[in-house]
Every structure is written in structure tokens, then in C-alpha cells.
Structure 1
Amino acid sequence: MRSNEVRLNNGIAMPLIGFGTYSFPNNRKTTELAIYNALKMGYRHFDTAKIYGSEPAVGNALNEAIFEGRVERENIFLTSKLWGNDHHDPVSALNQTLRNLGMEYVDLYLVHWPVKLKPWVNYAVPNEDDFENLDLESTWAGMEKCLEMGLCKCIGVSNFSSKKIEGLSDFASTPPAVNQVEMHPMWRQRKLRETCGDHKIHVSAYSPLGGPGNAWRSTAVVDHPIIKSIALKHKATPAQVALKWGLSKGSSVIVKSFNVERMKENIGSFDLKLEDEDMLDIDKLEERKIMRGEFLVNQTTSPYKTIEDLWDYEI
């Protein structure tokens, strides 16, 4: 067991720093080059999703590296996600993902959001009449089927609140291994981390730097004076402080930068040691969520009439 891995509740090891492949606009060659560089630097956990449009690029880059002997498949941890329009048949959805990737299996398959959409809604921002009633028990049975068939090594969820984790735990034969959620020094997810800890579910952090430069609103974690002062004290960068904070909380972090210098900087966060005083200072920061999910809320067909409904008031 390496120090840069976490052991999930099913015994499988997952690298603590993942390389995110969502980018807008999506450019296949740019993504493939970024993965090539990431592999050279030592990244082994790659995060994609059907809705990102990056599965073919991710698969092509990884398969090329495997074919050339630069890495072995068993040393790669690959994550993808079930979009809302595929809740009716996760097995077919994952089979399509595997065709996109050119892979026999993914290591982790996540329910992207607790939202079910009509089968043709293959786009990121649903229209008001695109929603269907969510039957999470049926969806999860399909996810468990994916696991039984060997299409994935682990199953999990993303963007699930504490209440939704508790609800899922009531009927799941196989508990989720991971809950991937927004988490960073300015959105610390204390309650959710406790709930997931009680159920031995690993919390994986997306937007661990507060999402600078993403297509959504950004919380300027790396520009916060406290984060900057901690970085200065340790001769580190603000990004390394933010990432090390997440790692120190027992979470993995999914970083999204195709810039070579920032990629090196991010993976260098393992070497930073934060002091108790630093952690206390971060715990005093104001909290602000970026990915609020307004695009999944409406008064007619969505099961969530308000943002508070979507997050069960953990917002």
C-alpha cells in the first residue's frame, strides 16, 4: 500500500491525486497530450465522464501508452460516470463508455448526479421538461449489475448529500465505494465527510482548488490571503496548500489543469506538510459553494424545486 493511495471499502487501492479531463471546449488532441504528460509525471488516476465528451481521448491516450509499454493497465485507475439519461439502463451505458474508451473495464463507475433524465437528454444542461422521476433503487441495482458483470471494479456516486447517502444505504446490497463532491478550503463538507466516514465511503474532491478557470462560477481559493500566507510560510504555492488540505482530511483530489507547470505543481502537493495552525486558519475561512446545480432545479418536472431540495439543505 503506497502512501499516495487510499484503500476503498472493497479493498481496491485508488491513487489520491486524480487527473480530471473535463475541459471546455473539448479538444481531443489537447486532452491526449495532457494525459501523455500526466503519465510521464506519475499521474495514474484519470477521471472522465460520458457528459464530458473526453472518453475517446482518454481511452486513446491511455491505450497508446499501454501498447508502447509506458504503463500497464493494472497500474491505471480509471473513473467514468453515468449521466442522467442512462439511469434506465446503466449496463448499456457503461458498455458504451467502454467502447468509447477502448477498455474492458473501468476501475470506478459513478452515478454522476441524483437526477434521472429522459433517454435523449445527452447534453449537460437539461431543459425544463427533460426530467423523469428518480428511482434510485432501480438505478443502483443497475450499477450493482455492472459490478457483477465485471464491467467495473467499484461503484459509487457523485454530488450526493448526507441524506441521499443515508437513503441509498437503506437498500444498497453493495455500498458505494466513493462519493465524489465539490470540496476545497472554502467548501469543507464537514457533515458529509462525517456521514461518509460512518458508512466507510471515501470522499473524493472535485474542484479542490475552487475551480479557477472552469466554465462555472469560481471561488478564488488560491487567491485568498490566508491560503497565500500559508503558502509563503512553507515556500509552497497556494494550489499546493489547497490540495494538501484536502489530502490531510483523508480525501482524494481530482485536479484539472492541462498546463504542464501546474500539473507538476499539483502533484508536488504530496511533499508539503501543513501545521495544525494552518489547518485551524483554513477552518475559519468563509464557505462558498461553486457547483450549486441550478440547472437541475425547476418548478415543474425536476424532483428538486429548490437548491435546498437538491442538497437537502447542506448548502
Structure 2
Amino acid sequence: MKKILYIFFMFGVLGFSQESEDGKTNKKDLQTSKNLTWEGNKDIAENDFINAEANYRRAISKSTDNPAASYNLGNAYYNKETYSEAFGRFKQAGELASTKEEKHQAYHNMGNVFMKRKEYEKAVEAYKEALRNDSTDEETRYNLALAKELLKKQQDEEQKNDENKDDQNQEDKEDKNEDKKDEGDKEKDDKGEQKEDENKDKGDEGDKGDEKPEENKEGDGDKKEEEKKQPNEGDKPQEQQPRPNQLSPQQVQNLLEAMQNEEKKVQEKIDAQKVKGIKTKMKKIGNVIGN
């Protein structure tokens, strides 16, 4: 990128000059403007931006025939990275310039401002205008080639972003349509389920109507069944009769009494033998209920 140059004015010899519309130049005001521009250049060399800015502004206000004051003030703003102010001053210098060299320098630096802003398309046009006024400047030609390359890269990225944006929009549209389809299917299913529930309710109501006589019928049947289970007076169970070959309770009682009497007799015999001192064998007699 071309180095920004300051135009120094010493004793009013160096710098830009321009005649007024009537062919006459206010030499006194122009000389004062050039002197103030020189003071501003001196302040810049001493890194005194505040005084330099003040002197350049005073020089511009003194004469519109001194484009160097605008140009050098633009350089001061550029170095401070105040690019909007710098561009305004370079544009002013280009409009006041009376020679091709002056215009070339102004448009070259306007191109530099556009490069800083990444406005590559505008930078290309500014460098082209600079080359129209001086086609031999290799630095301007280099900057033009660089601006074109960066512009192409920028356009490719924008195109890619646009394509991605279109793809995203298409995906969003498809997702939206899919959501609508799902909502429609869900609504359809809900309606179908609701209809089935209604039919089921109607069927249940019909079943309830059928159940009523069934319940009555069932109640009557249960009642009759209970009545069947209850015995009649004539159906009362009779006393259980003994089965063949089975002793009656009375017979058993009589047998027990007979056995007890027999056992008593035996015991009396044993006691009598003990008295005589004769040992006898005892035969155990059990209670017999039947053969």
C-alpha cells in the first residue's frame, strides 16, 4: 500500500495553487493558508496532533485554493484511524485539485480508506480513478490488484452464505410443512379416537339397557334357587338307623355293663387266690365292641 505523504510548504514555494473564477488569486489569503499548512506539517512531525489539526483547519478556512491543507489533514486523521474524517478530507482535496498529480494522490488515499473499511468494490473504483490521472504509479496498480482479489473473495463468501441461507430457508420450510402434516395427522387421529369413544359410549348405553331385564331375571332365578335349597317340613331328616352288623348305642351300653360285671367277678377270684397263696395266670380281658 502506498505510503501516505505529507505535502510541506516552505515560504509558499511548494504546494497546490488555483486561480479564482475571475482569473485572479487572493495571494495574501493563499499565502496565509500555505503558512498555516506548513505549521500543521511541523506539528505532525512533532507528534502534536491537536495543534496540527487546528492549523490545518485554519488553513482550509483561509483559502479554498489550497487543497494541500485538506489532503494533509486527511493524512493526520488516517494515521489516527479516524477513517470517516480522513475520507471526507481526501474527497475535498480531490475536488480542489488542479493537477493530475494532485488528483492521483487524493484518489489513491481514498482507495486506502475503502480498503480499511473492507469496502473493496469502492476501493477498486478509487484506485482506477487514481490510475487515470497517473498510470505509471506501481503502488496504485498493486493496490488495485489486491483490492480486486479481496473483492472476489468477499463476493464468493457472500454467495456461499446466500446459498447456505437458501438451504436453511428450504429446510425450515420443509420442517414447517412436516410439522403441519404431523399436526394434521394428530388432529385426524384425535377425531378418530373421539368418534370411537362416542360409539363406545353409545354401545355402553345400549348394553346398560339390556342389562336391566337380565338383572331382574338373574334376581328371580337366585330367589327361586334359594327357595329350592330351603327344606320343607316334610323333608326334615329322620334319625339315623343303624346299618346291618352294627350295634346300636343301647346294645353297646349293655355290652359294656356285662363286661364290667365279668371283670368284677374275675377280680374277686384273684383276690380270693391271694388269700390262699396260690399263684394264678391273669388273662387280660379287653372291651369288645363287635366281632
TM-score, normalised by the number of residues in structure 2? 0.24
Structure with more helix by fraction: 2
| Bigger relative contact order (CA 8 A; separation at least 6) | 1
Structure with more strand by fraction: 1
| The structure with more radius of gyration | 2
